[in-house]
Amino acid sequence: MLKKLRRDLKFRFGRQLRQVNYWFVARLAMVIMSLLRLLPVDSALNFADRTARLIGPRVGRHQVALDNLRKAYPEKSEDEIRAIASDMWGNMARLAAEYIFLDALFDYDPAAGKPGRIEVKGTEHFVEIAAEKQPHIVFTGHLGNFELLPVAAATFGMNITALFRPPNNPYLADYILSTRRSTMGGLLPSMAGASFALAGVLENGGNIGVLVDQKFSNGLDTTFFGRPCQSNRVLGTLARHYDCDVYPARCIRLPGNRFRLEIEDKLVLPRTADGSVDVHATTQMLNDVVERWVREDPGQWMWFHKRWEISKWRRKNRTKPAPVSNT
């Protein structure tokens, strides 16, 4: 009884301590963002980049990034690996700072002849998706400032609901969600039941946007950069059920705090013998598309993410012998 009481007290204290830590981190982040707002846009973003390149190599996730890079690029030298990791930290810092300046950064006007900070490639696909009265799926990865893609979709009049994963810090999550909702249209937090909500959007002829490059515990066995990983099956499952078109889209960070938003031709999805979408092969195809993007500019992807970590439950389960059939 006493042991259980101690365990409960320890759990409650740990939870309260975590909430206090979240609050302080959020307050610090708000102070930093307030200071950045005092600077011109370019100065603020460049300052964030320089600072992150100094601080990033000193955090624990830096070693995760280096390990992932070494395994993904065994042919690269250590200097090249560290340079990519440095670019990654700069990109992530710019992404965080750009939340403050989204309105100023997104200056794309489809009617203007001269591009500003934003240029768009594949405008015909944006127009086509917006005009068609049928469901579509648009997917992307954590590259450049991927948050600008739903802003572009809204500019073209595309009715799209974007699935996103809120930060673990609830105070930061509230701030980021309020910022996103003001510019990005429909948003759906990634949580239990999200797949049913996405299905509801497609059922009603809407469009959904999904990030597909994160680890998904107990997901489908796939590969990324030739290494085993687990991937979410939801996009392939929805594409099979609604037989809708799937488009790849990405953001490329350009010099001078500029961006290119690209939406590519719709994918020709692999099919099974009965003609339905092959969920497993489609999920692998998504990984292959994101890998192509990352290889083109590896410094714009989040290498500190534990993309290749395999669920312990799955690993343990695989060691069990296969059940013997009674038939």
Residue 93: inside a domain = no
The pLDDT, as a whole number, for residue 13 is 56
209 pLDDT more than 70: yes
Cβ contacts of 115 within 8 Å, gap of 6 or more:
108
Instruction: Say if residue 111's pLDDT is above 80.
Output: no
Distance, in Å, from the CA atom of 241 to the CA atom of 1, rounded to the nearest integer, reads 52
Q: Which residue has the tokens 């950064």?
A: 105
Per DSSP, what are the bridge partners of residue 161? Answer: 186, 208
For residue 296, being part of any structural domain is answered with yes
Between 170 and 209, the higher pLDDT residue: 209
Rg of the chain over all Cα atoms, to the nearest angstrom: 21
pLDDT band at 285; cut points 50, 70, 90? very high
Amino acid 181: pLDDT? 54
* Structural domain boundaries, residue 242: 113-306
Task: Give how many domains the chain has, as a whole number.
Answer: 1
**What's the mean pLDDT in 65-77?**
97
pLDDT of residue 174: 66
Among 17-31, 117-131, 238-252, 271-285, the minimum mean pLDDT is found in: 17-31
Per the prediction, the chain carries an average pLDDT of 85
Does some domain include residue 155? yes
pLDDT in tens, 229-280: 999 999 999 999 999 999 999 999 999 999 999 999 999 999 999 999 999 9
What band does 7 get if pLDDT is binned at 50, 70 and 90?
low
pLDDT (mean) for 160-166: 73
Q: What are the tens digits of pLDDT across the range 307-326?
A: 999 876 654 444 443 333 33
Residue 318's pLDDT is what? 45
In a domain, 195, yes or no: yes
On whether residue 30 sits in a domain, the answer given is no
| In the chain, % of residues over pLDDT 70 | 81
In a domain, 71, yes or no: no
CA distances from 9 to 4, 19, 213 (A): 9, 15, 38
